[in-house]
Structure 1
Amino acid sequence: MPAALKAEIAAEEVVDILVFGSGAGGLAASLFAAKRGMKVLLCEKSSLLGGTTATSGGVLWIPGNRQAKEAGIDDPIENARTYLRHELGNYYREDLAEAFLESAGPAIEDIEDGTSVAFDLIQSPDYHPDSPGGVDKGRSIMARRYDGTELGPDFELVRPPMDRLMVCGGMMVGPDEIPAFVRPFASMANFRRVVRRLARHGLDRLKYRRGAQVSNGNALVARLLHSLRMHKAEIWVDAPLKELIRTDNRVEGAIVERQGRAVRVRARLGVVLATGGFPQDPALRREFSASFPHDYSMAFEANTGDGQRAARAVGGAVDTELSSPCLWTPSSLLKERDGKSVPVIYGYLDRGRPGIIAVDPEGRRFVNESNSYHDIVAALFERRAALGAADDAPFHFICDAAFVRKNGLGAIRPWPWSPSLSPFVRNGYITTARTLPELARRIGIDPASLATTVERHNMFARTGKDTDFGKGSTSFNRVWGDPAAGPNPNLTPIVKAPFVALPILPATLGTAVGLKTNGDAQVLDASGGVIPGLFACGNELASPMRGFYPGGGITLGPAVVFAYRAVLKAVAEA
């Protein structure tokens, strides 16, 4: 802490539960505590609430959820246990897995009870549904769409979603609306739906800086915020954690910076850290993910390891015994008008669709492109190592212009939202060419190799069977397919000039390495002992999925569940 702050404690506050971070974990912990009559203070480092959660898909992986049971889906917890044991292998930590499975369903029922929080079951298979214990549906739920006008002025506190999920100056397009917005003129129903949303958006913009009809992670954050206001929890923004206070072998509170002054906050029951891990901190990335070199993250820019540094300063241990230090997605770099290059996430529209392949620096496919974003980057790292390639060796998505017109590509939206590829060619975001050999030469890979790779892919599209990588062979793959594509919904030939190449590179969705905890989210020291009064949830704690990505929502699901367990433990110990 700066000497000027440390020398002058401006005030002291006393609460029951002190929470740092306003993503799903921090908001949920605050709500669980406030619902139980606790005096809660939530401190957010930035001026807006939501962190990475606000820009996420808002999906939670929750085996045994109420929504699946009500839909008649029979999925005993033992199936999920089998699935996790298979997926995590030797990295499986029984205490964390059992705590998660035991509390997943109850945590969701608790957070929905007497609040504005609501979830719906979504059609999302596990990412490896053919593995033992995997399912085609039933474990992933999503925050229900929300009308932000119900928050009144507080809606301006919710961090906006990514630009890719917004059109027309801040209108958020939810997953159920994408088909209509991608093809607004395909039917009168599509056209009417788009016009109605545009009209409502115009009304919202009279009062707010963006559209107030929100979905995905933005809806989850808005619903949690509304619920916290209902339960009288106190929220401070622009209030970063400076240090934890540990006396008599217990964490009793923290020093918080507020309006340029240091405030000592004493927490009678405990401090919950949920500041989002360290994806945006280069020093911590070098310390914990040096063997997975990368420069970019889709996580919130303020997630710089504040909670982990504070916990380590009072004896907290970091758990590095994971398969991967981070959770991954392919990304591309878009140069903005100021010359800065920003990462663009692998999106909803182009992800895994038929008619696109991923190639390595030698022009060869290296992965099933309809697998999960995490799996694609894991395969990229493996291929890079196998080739002995440099960290900046080029990997690309290859498709034709017809694919981009229909599905978009990275930052490029489908027609009519992006009427031309020319601006993206001029700023260097994509490369185009009339022939595949010409495209290969322009992106620096072997022309013959790329031509052979594309022809082999096109043969698979004609026969319907990808004998190299099994594209289209699982229910998860087929979620991203097109039934009109041919014998295999995930395969369409790449044949129509101009051809398009998009450079891709690894980026993180968040970190998996984090504070070492027990099943009650209590932070442990180097000897494995509990640090009383200190808890962690979200990406602050080491992922119970141990660096793997078994299904949609494996960050937000555990974030809410371990927030629940942390609060129950803190209250019980009181």
Structure 2
Amino acid sequence: MAETLDTLGQNETFDVVVVGAGGAGMSAALVAAIDGARVLLVESTEYVGGTTAYSAGTTWIPASTHAAGVNRDDSSANAEGFLDRAVGGRSSAAMRRAFLDAGPKAVAHIEANSDVKYRARPFHPDYLSEIEGSTLRGRALEPLPFDGRKLGRAFSLIRPPIPEFTVLGGMMVDRDDVGHLLNMTKSFASFRHAAKLLARHARDRMSSPRGTRLVMGNALIGRLLYSLLQRGVTVLTSTTLEALHAGANGIEAVTLSQVNERRRIGVKGGVILASGGFNRHPARRREMLPGADPAWCPGAPGHRGGAQDLALASGARFGEGALSNAFWAPVSVRNRADGTTAVFPHFIMDRGKPGMITVDKSGRRFLNENTSYHLFGIAMQKANTTTPSVPAYLITDSEGLRKYGLGMVRPGGKGLAPFLADGYLVEGKTLDELAAKLDIDKTGLADSVARMNRYAQTGVDADFQRGTTDYQNANGDANWTGPNKCLGPIGQAPFYAVRLYPGDIGAATGLVVDTDARVLNRDDRPIGGLYACGNDAQSVMGGVYPGPGITLGPGLAFGYLAARHATVRAKHPNQPTHDDALDLPIDLPLHAHAK
């Protein structure tokens, strides 16, 4: 279990203090511990995992040791060219090269020295697959499933997944499991797979409030937590970073608070900020994400920007020039029975499938529904400046609902009554009736559906070219018999809709850092002993979303760089550090296995 602040003495000293226990922060803490540092991991909420625990856990790392198993033709140089074309001047080319160089090293280092294990998805295209240098496979890594029972009582520290992404009261399923569950009556292999899942979950529920077979983001967090505890890392939850204390060589201590306790903790090597970014910082959110209601944010609750405020007060600055200050996804929103709000990101399961369209207030389509979720969210906000498109309306017919579901409504077409009763799902016996209930233009909706029905026959979306890239086709229906896997007719009454909003899923703008993840001041000089990674740091993707896992990948890479630099700094405190420049090679092997 997590420790309490009162177990630490006043002025106790750690080599490295990591603030924020999401994927980036936990990875940084683990690398520092592997390299022999005494590490303190501080988390402001009651759980570890952050938004990573809610996510698919996909980590975009080109040219890892796993890539060759599914794509021998890819290389770091190929990925660099892809990012140069996709991101361009929106981020530093040197920072992108640092990411591409460190990423494979970080994966290999952690896998060789901990219980964190990855595998490459056999098929997971880059989102901007039309750009030269993109790939269909090899760059997207996912964590292996993890048995949460290995954590014992510490299992309760992991942030549970979004309930609407689980089945049967807390059973986690990944994309492979979903396929087996949907086909369990059609395939013996799927039946056997599903039967094992269900039997395991039944056993779990006899002793646990949720399933202990962890997949996706929960699996990554589970593996990280298990590895951190094995190495004796001190973990504090519900703990606030109140102050950064600077000395002659930079940050030398922090003040932490927990309930009624307060401690000043010394730091030899450095403080690594990985607290999740600014998304729930009241003032900065209004400034940087105008018009985006915080109720639409599906991220974990910890990213309030307090650690960034302290860094800014110490001389740090925010980056500029990103395509967007945040990464986006269309979300639908529903009030749960317990009074909490469910925010459901529409990543791939519905909006790009045959028989689905998205329209604005005028009833007209305004975007390619199969574009990446990030570009979808940006398009909603851009279109809203001329014709109301927030909310937008994701519309299908009874056959589309049965086959693919609609947001929180699962495939099968059953159990609709609660969703209809609370207004999350809207039903119309005719398109005109649906338009009236949604208060959108019925003529525009009828025309949009008619046009889509024609495109379903020809296979060509003359308006938005849906289904024309590898990424778009990958998110269509592989079993669809029409000429375009992404286009299908809408005609089988009744008709259904859910409202979509632009939800920010993570910060793209953050603190400016260098290629060692050191936070830079306004003169572009490192602030001694202060590092940032994950969403606390300016994204190397420049607000562009070129592929799956482009937040977790850089989070891992720069967490690795920060941890190694801070650990070297802790072990060589007498080296001149007026500008925090270290003469030691950052790849110095420091494999003291602290248990």
TM over 0.5: yes
Matching residue of 2:484:
488
Contact residue 298 and residue 510 of structure 1 kept, 8 A: no
- Distance of aligned partners of 1:342 and 1:162 in 2 relative to their CA distance in 1, 3 Å threshold: closer
Decide which moves more: 92-101 or 341-350. Answer: 341-350
Matching residue of 2:56:
57
The structural deviation recorded for 1:189 is 3.6
The structural deviation recorded for 1:182 is 3.0
Q: 1:411 aligns with which of 405, 408, 416?
A: 408
- Distance of aligned partners of 1:348 and 1:201 in 2 relative to their CA distance in 1, 3 Å threshold: farther
The 3-state SS of whatever aligns with 2:11 is strand
Matching residue of 1:258:
258
Decide which moves more: 38-47 or 203-212. Answer: 203-212
* C-alpha distance in structure 1 between counterparts of 2:499 and 2:226, whole Å: 41
In structure 2, list runs of 5 or more residues that go unmatched.
573-595
The 3-state SS of whatever aligns with 1:484 is coil
The 3-state SS of whatever aligns with 1:134 is coil
* C-alpha distance in structure 2 between counterparts of 1:363 and 1:132, whole Å: 35
The 3-state SS of whatever aligns with 1:176 is helix
Alignment of 1:369-448 (within 5 A): 369-387=369-387, 389=388, 393-415=390-412, 419-448=414-443
- Distance of aligned partners of 1:205 and 1:457 in 2 relative to their CA distance in 1, 3 Å threshold: same
The structural deviation recorded for 1:422 is 2.3
- Distance of aligned partners of 1:338 and 1:143 in 2 relative to their CA distance in 1, 3 Å threshold: closer
Identity level (%): 37
The structural deviation recorded for 1:141 is 0.6
Contact residue 149 and residue 155 of structure 1 kept, 8 A: yes
Contact residue 21 and residue 273 of structure 1 kept, 8 A: yes
The 3-state SS of whatever aligns with 2:385 is helix
Matching residue of 1:461:
456
The structural deviation recorded for 1:401 is 2.0
* C-alpha distance in structure 1 between counterparts of 2:260 and 2:70, whole Å: 52
The 3-state SS of whatever aligns with 2:176 is coil
Contact residue 514 and residue 540 of structure 1 kept, 8 A: yes
The 3-state SS of whatever aligns with 2:12 is strand
Indicate whether 1:129 and 2:129 are aligned.
yes
The structural deviation recorded for 1:277 is 0.7
Alignment of 1:187-206 (within 5 A): 187-206=187-206
Which one-letter code corresponds to 1:540 in the other structure?
A: D
TM-score, length of structure 1 as denominator length = 0.94
TM-score, length of structure 2 as denominator length = 0.91
> CA-atom RMSD, angstroms?
1.9
Which one-letter code corresponds to 1:56 in the other structure?
A: S
Decide which moves more: 144-153 or 499-508. Answer: 144-153
- Distance of aligned partners of 1:233 and 1:393 in 2 relative to their CA distance in 1, 3 Å threshold: closer
Matching residue of 2:582:
none
* C-alpha distance in structure 2 between counterparts of 1:148 and 1:393, whole Å: 40
Indicate whether 1:570 and 2:558 are aligned.
no
CA deviation string 1:196-253 (max 9, x = no partner): 2111112122332210101100000001111112222111112221111112251112
Contact residue 46 and residue 238 of structure 2 kept, 8 A: yes
Matching residue of 1:19:
18
The structural deviation recorded for 1:165 is 2.0
The alignment of Structure 1 onto Structure 2 pairs a total of residues equal to 562
Matching residue of 1:213:
213
* C-alpha distance in structure 1 between counterparts of 2:75 and 2:386, whole Å: 40
* C-alpha distance in structure 1 between counterparts of 2:45 and 2:61, whole Å: 29
The 3-state SS of whatever aligns with 2:265 is strand
Contact residue 85 and residue 92 of structure 1 kept, 8 A: no
* C-alpha distance in structure 2 between counterparts of 1:112 and 1:454, whole Å: 50
Decide which moves more: 64-73 or 529-538. Answer: 64-73
Contact residue 294 and residue 506 of structure 1 kept, 8 A: no
* C-alpha distance in structure 2 between counterparts of 1:398 and 1:259, whole Å: 48
The structural deviation recorded for 1:92 is 3.1
Matching residue of 2:169:
169
The 3-state SS of whatever aligns with 1:539 is helix
* C-alpha distance in structure 1 between counterparts of 2:294 and 2:11, whole Å: 41
The 3-state SS of whatever aligns with 1:514 is coil
Indicate whether 1:539 and 2:535 are aligned.
yes
The 3-state SS of whatever aligns with 1:74 is coil
The structural deviation recorded for 1:516 is 1.1
Alignment of 1:73-152 (within 5 A): 73-122=72-121, 123-152=123-152
In structure 1, list runs of 5 or more residues that go unmatched.
none
Contact residue 296 and residue 333 of structure 2 kept, 8 A: no
Matching residue of 1:478:
473
Indicate whether 1:309 and 2:326 are aligned.
no
The structural deviation recorded for 1:468 is 1.8
